[in-house]
Structure 1
Amino acid sequence: MATPDQWQSLHEGRLAAMIEVAEAAGAHTLKHFRSSELVIDAKQDDSPVTIADREAEQLVRKLLFERFPQDTLQGEEFEEQTGSSSYRWIVDPIDGTKSFVCGVPLYSTLLALECDGNPLGGVIFIPAMGELIAAAIDQGSWYRRGDGAAWEAAQVSTKTDISQAVFVTSQVDSFDQRGASDAYKRLESDAWVSRSWGDGYGYLLVATGRAEMMIDPICNAWDVAAIYPVITEAGGTFTDWKGTKTVRGGDGVGTNGHLHAAVLDRLS
């Protein structure tokens, strides 16, 4: 396996660009983070969006299309741009916008790369904390604690008892929204501890062995496309609630693998 510093030659430089572009977009969001002048708008689904979300996605599109104009790009804030190549980029410029507007530093910038519909790589970048994890299929999952730090191989935990596990999610009432409040209660009761503020950061915690299960009751492809390679290359498992290995199931479960069956059982 090659470290991210050696990815320049892979897929015509796309995997190396994936990290560079995610870092640039994430760094841009910091210009608006904790700004007293930040304006919060509501989308049609009543979720918040800001100028930081829009500008960061526009920057991703600009940087990627300068280098790979033939690729397709799907993002949360703007319409998909379809290209002629087999590569597709999927970006969530700010995953955890509610955290962002509250001044909580646990929001992330997510960028994923697919080829012919199959996952190739993904990045979770936590701009306000400097943490970054990048993964590529068959190249491992790699964690960097802060700017300038050396890459470390990311590895999920080895816990096999759910009573010792850390359970992370983003917002508890999202379980209620899909009629799964009982599933949340089962997991909260059986786990050692539960925490929210999850979003992309929750999956990063699973991939680095600091949590054992991160669960999204409702999500879109841009919320989890980067997550699949990050979790699986760290030795874990990512599926939808039915156990299918997909980022387009409308929900998501990322675990250390050892507890995956037990988690799915409690979600059913």
Structure 2
Amino acid sequence: MSDADRTPVDPDQWHSFEGGRLSAMVSIAKAAGNHTLKYFQNDQLQVDAKTDDSPVTIADREAEQLARKLITEQFPDDTVQGEEFAEREGKSPYRWVIDPIDGTKSFVCGVPLYSTLLAIEKDEQPIAGVILIPALDEIVAAADGLGSWHRRGDSSWTKTQVSNKESLSEAVFLSSQFDSFDERGATASFKELERQCWITRTWGDGYGYLLIATGRAEVMVDPICNAWDVAAILPVVVESGGKFTDWKGNPTVRGGDGIGTNGRLHDAVRALLG
């Protein structure tokens, strides 16, 4: 994006950017996320186990299928990658990355903190992302150089901004599932982060990163993650003034792990993770 375009612009004005993909990203994420509400808090919902024993439901599958359909109809040459189905290769430099329900365990338990994540990559780099919390009607949308924007319900978009806290002793530390630190042999790192931070909570998955972007938490760590878990996260956190990297410090969504912070605390977190 040229310097002339790097003025924060709210998502209602994104129609002309990236061939209409940015405005489409928001509407497609909403369509997919709203579809999940058909099954939310349904006592009859069947839960299946995937090969890695993680849960999946008809809501996950149908929401991803809907997003794929809408993307393909509007941008037939784009690649589409999602959690539940095989990647569809395209011819353009754009790739859409879908996580229809990030936090399926929360969804299955009737907890409203699950999210629908949608990202756009160009030439392998994330340039835009949406974190939608369907059950709370809360959304953050971000695009490279255009800012990160937050909206609840039908209210106006407001620019997001990470917190200005500069000490771990003031920080809210989040992670999706703490035993993931055990799985990668980082239990000691978790304990030290927990000891140094002000408070520790499992307000995780996409919702945790939304809290980082909107200044309500400072540190979110994923010891194990896939690209669809965090592709939307990098642009959201960065455009909010924060920082997202893998544990090695690389600004990538394909490192197998992730750290999102308000930026000021990023080096301190990385130092504790080793």
Q: TM-score, normalised to structure 1's length?
A: 0.99
What pairs with 1:8-27 in structure 2 (closer than 5 Å)? Answer: 8-27=15-34
Aligned to 1:238: 244
Aligned to 2:144: 137
Q: CA deviation at 1:28?
A: 0.2
Q: CA deviation at 1:120?
A: 1.1
State the 4+ residue runs in structure 1 displaced beyond 6 angstroms: none
Aligned to 2:84: 77
SS at match of 1:142: strand
Aligned to 2:103: 96
Q: CA deviation at 1:147?
A: 1.7
User: How many equivalent residue pairs?
Assistant: 267
What pairs with 1:1-268 in structure 2 (closer than 5 Å)? Answer: 1-144=8-151, 146-268=152-274
Q: Could you give the per-residue CA deviations for residues 175-220 of structure 1, whole angstroms, max 9, x where no partner exists?
A: 1011111111001100000000310000000000000011100000
CA separation in 2, counterparts of 1:248 and 1:141? 22
Task: Structure 2: state its 5+ residue gaps.
Answer: 1-7
- Do the aligned residues in 2 keep the contact of 1:187 with 1:263 (CA within 8 Å)? yes
Task: Structure 1: state its 5+ residue gaps.
Answer: none
Q: CA deviation at 1:37?
A: 1.0
Amino acid of the structure 2 residue aligned with 1:64: I
SS at match of 2:135: coil
- Do the aligned residues in 2 keep the contact of 1:41 with 1:48 (CA within 8 Å)? yes
Aligned to 2:5: none
Identity, % of aligned pairs?
Answer: 65
- Do the aligned residues in 2 keep the contact of 1:141 with 1:234 (CA within 8 Å)? yes
CA separation in 1, counterparts of 2:75 and 2:44? 35
Amino acid of the structure 1 residue aligned with 2:33: G
- Do the aligned residues in 2 keep the contact of 1:171 with 1:197 (CA within 8 Å)? no
SS at match of 1:128: helix
CA separation in 1, counterparts of 2:124 and 2:177? 29
Q: CA deviation at 1:252?
A: 0.3
Q: TM-score, normalised to structure 2's length?
A: 0.97
CA separation in 2, counterparts of 1:13 and 1:6? 10
SS at match of 2:41: coil
Root mean square deviation, CA, Å: 0.5
